[in-house]
């Protein structure tokens, strides 16, 4: 074969390859909307491929290519939260309605929370921190090109401080999930977000440590999972919920916290690893609630203080000490006992409680894990079936509240958790207000109605009955905001 034939063959091969790629892209994008998890959603689009042939990570450490790829997929998240401003005194309505409210209480103020988010699919799904949108009556999302959307909260998980949002948009740039397991200490990373309202800010640093537990998350059931990636990339207020990416432009984590005594960056920041992010997002997308698989053991780190604390010899220098095994749990059924020291799960080392929690948090109830542990210094292995917090393997489906509508105002029934938290018997939350009289009264979205006139409100149906009964009259509406602030409003029906 002469050089001319060789050259023509190469050109022909390139043309055929290009046509196949174009056809493949078109075919896969048409299947995008039917996906039920983010692996499928991200695999059906090629919009995030780097298009710079000169980009080679080992040569030159090119921050530019990653930044250009990622910044269009980072959004500014602004949440509207109702805030109270209490003053002293007693209101005459207390005696009349049996309702405690301070005299001269200022009208509720609309507070705002600002953070960041990362688009993770072309059809508008966004991951952010739970604390960015917690208790929000409205969530606005602004894209890099200044388009603004009202976001819908698909689901939240306070135990990992993550939330999934949805905006009605298509063909968006998104950030593909990377493998946080493969991220190395010392590896370069970029943090992208909106610190101090400075949109699309990119900072660089290295991974300083992995599986960090810094004790910032709280959960009533003690199910919080902290196994952060620690970096020295500068992160400040407003970066929360933004992505931590590698130099390939892949999501390694969601920036969540900083180590600071001043409120500003002091050298270290912490991100939820992408392995947990992806699992939580897939759960929220499919079920609306996180499916948490539990081993059912009470644990603590093996360290220099453990022997003194428990008063007995520990035959290990590192690992996770089991101080209690819950009866009927997956761990108990697998034969784990108090005093065992877990050192691995599914072939991965788990020498700290955070590393063990991260491995188990990736699983759902009914999944099995292979647990490697030490008993009296001897290494052993067992297989455990994980269970949910109720002690079984059933899927937990998000409770979708019943809604009712009255003249442009939409009311939602309350979940059991909200009633328990606010210590109320019942009520109906206002989710949408598109009515001049209601807007003129000053009531805000998110307000929970517990009484209309003398009528007790337990759900949305009670609201509709009471409003119809008071039609044409002026009536006082009483209730509480999600932050616990009680208030009342006069409404002309």
Residue keyed to tokens 């759902």: 364
Residue 289: which residues within 8 A CB-CB, separation 6 or more? 155, 283, 396, 397, 398
Catalytic residue among 123, 161, 282, 413: 161
Residue 105: which residues within 8 A CB-CB, separation 6 or more? 84, 85, 86, 87, 91, 487
Token readout for 93 is 């309505």
> Has 161 been labeled as part of a binding site?
yes
Burial status of residue 222 (CB atoms within 10 A of its CB: 0-12, 13-18, 19 or more): exposed
3-class SS string, 408-461: CEEEEECCHHHHHHHCCCCCEEEEEECCHHHHHHCCCCCCEEEEECCEECCCHH
131 given a catalytic annotation: yes
Is 68 within 8 Å of 175 (Cβ atoms)? no
Report CA 360 to chain centroid distance, whole Å.
Answer: 17
CB atoms within 10 A of CB 182: 10
**Measuring CA to CA, how many Å separate 193 from each of 38, 116, 437?**
22, 5, 40
> Has 238 been labeled as part of a binding site?
yes
> Has 33 been labeled as part of a binding site?
no
76 given a catalytic annotation: no
Handedness of CA 327, 331, 335, 340 (dihedral sign): negative
**How does DSSP assign 261-313, residue by residue?**
SSSS--SEEEEEEHHHHHHHHHHHHHHSS----B--EEEEE--TTHHHHHTS-
> Has 131 been labeled as part of a binding site?
yes
Question: Of 194, 173, 72, 84, which is closest to residue 128 (Cα–Cα)?
Answer: 194
CA distance 280 to 343: 25
CA distance 16 to 77: 44
Catalytic residue among 113, 227, 240, 354: 240
> Has 76 been labeled as part of a binding site?
no
CA distance 154 to 407: 26
161 given a catalytic annotation: yes
Burial status of residue 111 (CB atoms within 10 A of its CB: 0-12, 13-18, 19 or more): middle
Catalytic residue among 114, 131, 137, 227: 131
CA distance 172 to 73: 7
Annotated binding site: 131, 161, 238-240
Annotated binding site for substrate: 131, 161, 238-240
Q: What are the catalytic residues?
A: 131, 161, 240
């Amino acid at each position: 074969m002469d050089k001319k034939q060789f050259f023509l063959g190469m050109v022909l091969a390139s043309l055929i390859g290009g046509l196949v790629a174009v056809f493949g892209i078109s075919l896969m994008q048409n299947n995008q909307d039917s996906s039920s998890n983010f692996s499928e959603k991200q695999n059906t689009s090629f919009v995030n491929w780097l298009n710079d042939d000169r980009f080679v990570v080992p040569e030159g450490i090119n921050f530019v290519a990653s930044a250009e790829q990622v910044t269009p997929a980072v959004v500014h998240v602004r949440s509207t939260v109702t805030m109270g401003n209490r003053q002293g005194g007693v209101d005459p309505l207390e005696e009349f309605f049996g309702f405690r409210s301070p005299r001269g209480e200022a009208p509720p103020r609309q507070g705002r929370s600002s953070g960041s988010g990362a688009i993770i699919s072309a059809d508008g799904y966004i991951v952010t921190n739970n604390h960015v949108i917690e208790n929000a009556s409205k969530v606005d999302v602004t894209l890099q090109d200044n388009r603004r959307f009202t976001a819908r909260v698909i689901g939240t998980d306070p135990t990992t401080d993550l939330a999934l949002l949805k905006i009605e948009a298509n063909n968006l740039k998104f950030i593909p999930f990377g493998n946080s397991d493969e991220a190395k200490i010392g590896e370069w990373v970029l943090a992208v977000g909106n610190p101090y309202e400075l949109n699309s800010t990119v900072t660089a640093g290295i991974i300083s440590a992995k599986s960090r537990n810094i004790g910032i998350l709280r959960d009533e059931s003690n199910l919080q999972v902290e196994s952060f990636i620690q970096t020295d990339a500068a992160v400040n207020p407003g970066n929360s919920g933004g992505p931590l990416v590698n130099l390939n432009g892949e999501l390694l984590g969601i920036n969540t916290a900083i180590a600071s005594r001043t409120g500003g960056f002091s050298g270290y920041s912490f991100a939820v690893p992408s392995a947990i992010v992806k699992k939580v997002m897939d759960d929220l997308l499919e079920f609306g609630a996180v499916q948490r698989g539990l081993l059912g053991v009470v644990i603590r780190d093996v360290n220099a203080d453990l022997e003194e604390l428990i008063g007995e010899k520990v035959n290990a220098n590192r690992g996770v000490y089991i101080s209690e095994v819950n009866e009927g749990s997956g761990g108990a059924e697998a034969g784990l006992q108090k005093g065992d020291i877990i050192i691995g799960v599914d072939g991965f080392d788990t020498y700290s409680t955070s590393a063990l929690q991260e491995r188990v948090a990736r699983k759902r109830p009914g999944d099995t894990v292979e647990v490697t542990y030490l008993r009296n210094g001897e290494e052993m292995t067992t297989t455990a079936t994980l269970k949910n917090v109720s002690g079984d393997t059933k899927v937990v489906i998000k409770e979708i509240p019943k809604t009712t509508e009255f003249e442009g105002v939409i009311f939602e029934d309350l979940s059991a958790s909200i009633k328990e938290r606010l210590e109320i018997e019942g009520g109906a939350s206002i989710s949408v207000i598109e009515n001049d009289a209601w807007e003129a009264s000053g009531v805000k979205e998110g307000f929970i109605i517990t009484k209309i006139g003398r009528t007790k409100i337990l759900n949305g149906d009670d609201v509709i009955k009471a409003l119809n009964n008071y039609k044409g009259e002026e009536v006082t509406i009483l209730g509480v905001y999600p932050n616990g602030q009680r208030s009342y409003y006069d409404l002309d029906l």
